[in-house]
């Protein structure tokens, strides 16, 4: 089967397309007068056999439309561009622009729309050509409104600094573009800026359709490290009392409490001993006690209470002395108070003596 027969069969296979774009692709070479009337629409190749080039361009364009409908935009883009080299019809470029838009290449799609609108056609060209040009102009305006923008700013540095370097995804950005909104395709961008190795910054931004984003790079010189604080030699830090020193005051209070309790008990038993002594003197005149009377018991009570009182006094004095020593050893007690202090006690009194 010859090449021309295969192309003719493929054309017949696609005659069922209902969309006007499909009809436009099939009709891109539908009138020989259109080729002859406008040099701008002359086929790019196959001048010796124009019909073969027209049939081939039609077949490639129809296959590209199939790939476009299937979502295979990379294949569709390659086929539409190939068909355009065979015959620069506005219907083919229109679909090239639409394919680029589907691929997220909005800026490239705008350029393709502009090429579509700039194609000149003869007055007797197929009606689909004029419709494609009108559609390209309308779709271009709508697409421009969807293109995201990115505005870059820097602080801490002059834009005239020759060491200033700004890049977006590795592409250098001139100082004149700083502060100006730049149209970019949707996607992820890495922005970096530097003055030196110590003064650099970077940021990542994801642009979506219609978004207007702004990024500020901070390139200010780092602040100098402050000097360490100077401590005067005349100022000595206070030592915090440790747990052992803090407990001395508590032990002093406990010992003092024991001492006071002992002295109190000594006073009480001393009074009881005095009472028993008086009773014994009454019951035992001239130191003679009637065995059948209360004198012997009074004498025994006197001796017992006197012994108990003496012991209590001793415990009390020891407790007070221990408490005083511990209190003086605690860190909060003035050193001057430790000089000349001593407890004293007699048969009827107890206290502290010394210099304060």
Per-residue pLDDT tens over the stretch 55-75: 898 899 999 999 999 999 999
- 321: which residues sit within 8 A by CB, 6+ positions away? 259, 343
Q: Are strands 200-207 and 187-194 parallel, antiparallel or unpaired?
A: antiparallel
- What does the buried/exposed string (b/e) look like for 173-197 if buried means 16 or more CB atoms within 10 Å of the residue's CB? beeeebeeeeebbbeebebbbbbee
| Averaged confidence pLDDT in the chain | 75
Burial classification of residue 14, based on how many CB atoms lie within 10 Å of its CB (0-12 exposed, 13-18 middle, 19 or more buried):
middle
- 274: which residues sit within 8 A by CB, 6+ positions away? none
Burial classification of residue 204, based on how many CB atoms lie within 10 Å of its CB (0-12 exposed, 13-18 middle, 19 or more buried):
exposed
pLDDT of residue 4: 35
Q: Is pLDDT at 298 greater than 60 in this prediction?
A: yes
Give the tens place of pLDDT for each residue, 91-144. 999 999 999 999 999 999 999 999 999 988 888 888 999 999 999 999 999 999
Phi-psi region of 255 (alpha: psi -120 to 50; beta: other; left: phi over 0): alpha
The number of beta carbons lying within 10 Å of the beta carbon of residue 2 is 7
**What is the four-CA torsion angle of 9, 15, 21, 27, rounded to 10 degrees?**
70
Q: Is pLDDT at 27 greater than 60 in this prediction?
A: no
Q: Is pLDDT at 85 greater than 60 in this prediction?
A: yes
- Rounded Cα distance, 259 and 343, in Å: 11
Q: Is pLDDT at 250 greater than 60 in this prediction?
A: yes
| Tally of CA atoms within 13 A in the half-sphere of 204 that contains its CB | 2
- Rounded Cα distance, 198 and 195, in Å: 8
């Amino acid at each position: 089967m010859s090449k021309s027969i295969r192309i003719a069969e493929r054309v017949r296979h696609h005659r069922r397309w209902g969309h006007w774009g499909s009809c436009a692709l099939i009709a891109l070479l539908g009138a020989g007068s259109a080729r002859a009337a406008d040099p701008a629409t002359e086929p790019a190749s196959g001048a010796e056999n124009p019909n073969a080039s027209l049939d081939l361009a039609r077949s490639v364009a129809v296959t590209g439309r199939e790939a476009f409908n299937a979502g295979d935009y990379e294949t569709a883009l390659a086929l539409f561009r190939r068909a355009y080299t065979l015959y620069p019809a506005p219907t083919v470029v229109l679909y090239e622009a639409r394919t680029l838009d589907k691929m997220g290449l909005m800026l490239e799609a705008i350029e393709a729309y502009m090429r579509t609108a700039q194609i000149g056609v003869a007055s007797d060209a197929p009606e689909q050509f004029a419709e494609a040009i009108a559609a390209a102009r309308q779709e271009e305006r709508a697409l421009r409104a969807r293109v995201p923008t990115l505005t870059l700013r820097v602080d801490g540095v002059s834009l005239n600094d020759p060491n200033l370097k700004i890049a977006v995804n590795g592409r250098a950005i001139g100082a004149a573009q700083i502060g100006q909104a730049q149209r970019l395709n949707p996607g992820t961008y890495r922005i970096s800026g530097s003055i030196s190795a110590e003064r650099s910054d970077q940021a990542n931004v994801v642009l979506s359709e219609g978004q207007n984003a702004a990024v500020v790079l901070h390139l200010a010189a780092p602040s100098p490290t402050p000097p360490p604080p100077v401590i005067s030699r005349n100022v000595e830090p206070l030592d915090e009392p440790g747990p052992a020193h803090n407990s001395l005051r508590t032990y002093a209070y406990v010992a003092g409490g024991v001492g006071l309790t002992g002295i109190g008990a000594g006073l009480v038993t001393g009074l009881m001993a005095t009472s028993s002594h008086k009773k014994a003197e009454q019951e035992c005149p001239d130191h003679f006690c009637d065995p059948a009377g209360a004198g012997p018991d009074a004498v025994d009570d006197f001796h017992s209470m006197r012994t108990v009182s003496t012991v209590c006094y001793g415990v009390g004095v020891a407790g007070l002395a221990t408490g005083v020593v511990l209190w003086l050893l605690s860190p909060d007690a003035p050193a001057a108070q430790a000089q000349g202090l001593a407890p004293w006690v007699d048969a009827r009194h107890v206290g502290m003596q010394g210099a304060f």
